[in-house]
Amino acid sequence: MDVILARYAEVGLKSSGVRRYFESILIDNMLTALSAQGLEALVTSEQGRIYITTDRMDDSIPVLRRVFGVASLSPALISDSAMEEMQRAAAEYSRTVLGEGRSFAVKARREGNHPYKSMDVGREVGSAIFLANEDKGVRVDLTRPDVTFYVEVRDRKAYIFSEYLSGPGGLPMGSQGKVVAVVENDRDALAAWMMMKRGCRVIVSASSEDGPAASLGAWDPRLKVVVGREVRRVLRDSKALATVHGYGVEDIDIIRALPSDVPAFFPLIGMTGAEVQERSAFIRSA
């Protein structure tokens, strides 16, 4: 594969100026996450896509899937946008993906001016894939295929891939200011994680760097954990805008007793115990 395509969701809804600003933060976060794992990459953006080029793609993908703001990733081949070149590249790639008796479909989309339509790309590339794998007994299934090949044609280049790997989504971390999360248990860690997903840079206030707070380090290489310091002092020193807590609706008395010098967020307030356990397990498994 030649490149990793990264897509965002919410960032694309912003105005052009704000979107460019968010893209720059997202790219910086990607490079920071990769660098923290000793990985080098070239990251660029164009037409609503971010392109990551690296010689260690298999190592980079799991890291990029933990970068907030990334909706999905696809390792892709790059081809010239001429129909014959797309057919050749897709046919060669399909030999490594399709197994005996498997079904497939082709989905194509275009941006730019070309002497063909997206439907033509799907038909001609699909024909090339079928002929290249005819000896395997493959078949076309446009309803429920075993494998879907995607062809994105953008001006003079075409990107061919067959995987959509999910990311955490949300907003680029650091685009929405700083908050202090009090983390003493898994609920607190999940609350902090959810504020990271909403674009906040989180400073963790905890009694120890081990335990629940440690699980957040995989999601933020720059994570700052402050141990044994009063929360108000952490707020003052970091100039954070709010505190974050893992309390639920059953903890209303504790919530009422909290100091109200700054806003306090409770991201888990509407979540069930099962939802908290499921999401906490996901965070720890990263």
Domain ranges of the chain: 3-78, 82-155, 178-284
CB 139 within 8 A of CB 103: yes
- Angle, CA of 18, 24 and 26, to the nearest 5°: 100
115-157, pLDDT tens digit by residue?
A: 999 999 999 999 999 999 999 999 999 999 999 999 999 999 9
Q: For the chain, give percent helix, strand, coil, nearest 5.
A: 40, 25, 35
Q: Give me the sign of the Cα torsion angle 25, 28, 33, 36.
A: negative
The residues with which 180 forms a beta bridge, in sequence order, are 203, 243
Query: What is the pTM assigned to this prediction?
Result: 0.89
| Ranges in the chain, pLDDT < 70 | 12-13
CATH 3.40.50.300 describes domain 3-78: no
CA distances from 177 to 18, 30, 51, 183, 259 (A): 15, 18, 26, 19, 21
CB 183 within 8 A of CB 142: no
Torsions phi, psi for 182 (to 5 deg):
-85, 110
**Tokens encoding 42:** 């070239």
Closest C-alpha among 46, 78, 84, 44 to residue 160: 78
CA distances from 106 to 81, 87, 123, 195, 227 (A): 16, 12, 8, 38, 53
Contacts of 44 (CB under 8 A, 6+ apart): 27, 50, 51
Domains 3-78 and 82-155 share a fold: no
- Please report the pLDDT score of residue 12 as a whole number: 63
**Tokens encoding 20:** 């460019």
User: What is 178-284's CATH number, 3.40.50.10860, 2.60.40.60, 3.40.50.620, 1.10.150.570?
Assistant: 3.40.50.620
CA distances from 181 to 74, 178, 277 (A): 33, 10, 19
What's the fold here for domain 82-155?
A: VC0802-like (3.30.2130)
- Please report the pLDDT score of residue 107 as a whole number: 97
The residues with which 22 forms a beta bridge, in sequence order, are none
- Please report the pLDDT score of residue 15 as a whole number: 75
What single letter denotes the amino acid at residue 28? D
